[in-house]
Amino acid sequence: MSSVLSMKVSDFMKKAITTFPNVTIAEIAKIMYENRIGSVVITSPDDKVLGIFTERDLTRVVAEGVPLDKHVGDVMTKNPVLITQSEGLSKAISLMYEKNVRHLPVVDNEGKIKGIISVRDLTSILNKLTSLE
């Protein structure tokens, strides 16, 4: 199991669904529903991560009565916790635990989005490992 934990995040990350900050809350909720995902990464035109919009954000804005035609850039989680694609899987687990987040956008050394890894992904990986033992 320790050999897997030292493998790189890039070995396990999935394609990140991205959009721009001018998309509405209603539009991003539809993107999340149609893609069966818990988060969308908000990027600039040059693929730099500006924020993330998660199920937690959606719950918050609905509970606060924020109009669904408001831009996601106004309500997203700004400066999300990021991980570089060269980091080990153990670092991803540590970051999620320490920062209490469920989704980590994966970036290159220039801060450009390369993928995403979620708690669900990590749970699946660890379940497969324990079933092999």
pTM of full prediction above 0.85: yes
Q: Which two tokens stand for residue 39?
A: 């988060």
CA–CA distance, 96 with 126 (Å, rounded to integer): 15
CATH of domain 2-132: 3.10.580.10
Residue 62 has pLDDT above 70, yes or no: yes
Question: Residue ranges per domain, the chain?
Answer: 2-132
Mean pLDDT of 60-81: 97
Is residue 107 within 8 A of residue 85, CB to CB? The reply is yes
Express as a percent the part of the chain with pLDDT over 70.
93
